[in-house]
Amino acid sequence: MIKELDTESGYNRWAPLYEIDGNPMVNLDEMVFSEEFTFNVKGKSIVDLGCGTGRHSIKLAERGGLVTAIDISSGMIEEALKKPDSEKVKFICHDLSLKLPVEEESFDFVISSLVLEHIKDLYHFFKEVKRVCKKRGNIFITAMHPSMMLLDVQANFKDPLTGEEIRPKGYPNHMSDFINSIIKSGLKIDSFKEYFCSAEFIEKFPRAKRFLNWPMLILFKLKK
């Protein structure tokens, strides 16, 4: 049985399981982030939009970044605060569909991982990304590939108590919606990559076997 919840409620329920349920999308995102985000962040200001359990925020703070992490789910932030070095990060519970609670041109780096599928108004999101990024800042965004929805795949987890498949609210945005919203916001695409599910990835994460040779993840590196 599939049960769709609003984004906040869905992630509040998912929070205790998020990093331990073997979700292949999260695992692929971790791999891509570690391979592609090679910037020196020591002393640099960073905002993590949709920080979840602080997967990236805390690691960047440990590397010397001055990190602000924002998420709609208080449950996810509670999980983040249990981790070592979480005190190095400023966590804010806030809905990303609203104006961000930070000043204009505040950050050297704006990052966001696995969030875009939950954003209805992509233009507003990217406009806010541009607003808070410094003029020479870097923007690093990963997202579930829109093609995954053709397989009826959205962010989801199985509730061990009820057996339900819980889906936080997602929107069927197309690749053109992402790209057109980026361009309309005034941002520039520095680079763009698509990541396909390989046999090597399936060996490490067997739950991904149904996605062999299918595009799973996208990465945008943007500039103002």
Query: What pTM value is reported for the model?
Result: 0.96
Residues 6+ apart with CB under 8 A from 91: 51, 54, 57, 69, 70, 71, 77, 80, 81
Q: Are strands 66-71 and 90-93 parallel, antiparallel or unpaired?
A: parallel
Show the domain range for 60.
2-143+173-192
At 35, which CATH number? 3.40.50.150
Q: Do the beta carbons of residue 182 and residue 126 sit within 8 Å? A: yes
In a domain, 69, yes or no: yes
Distance, CA of 200 to chain centre? 23
In a domain, 30, yes or no: yes
pLDDT exceeds 90 at position 1 = no
Tell me how many domains the chain contains.
Answer: 1
Length of the chain, please? 224
In a domain, 19, yes or no: yes
Mean pLDDT of the chain, nearest integer: 97
For 17-52, what is each residue's pLDDT tens digit? 999 988 999 999 999 999 999 999 999 999 999 999
For 132-159, what is each residue's pLDDT tens digit? 999 999 999 999 999 999 999 999 999 9
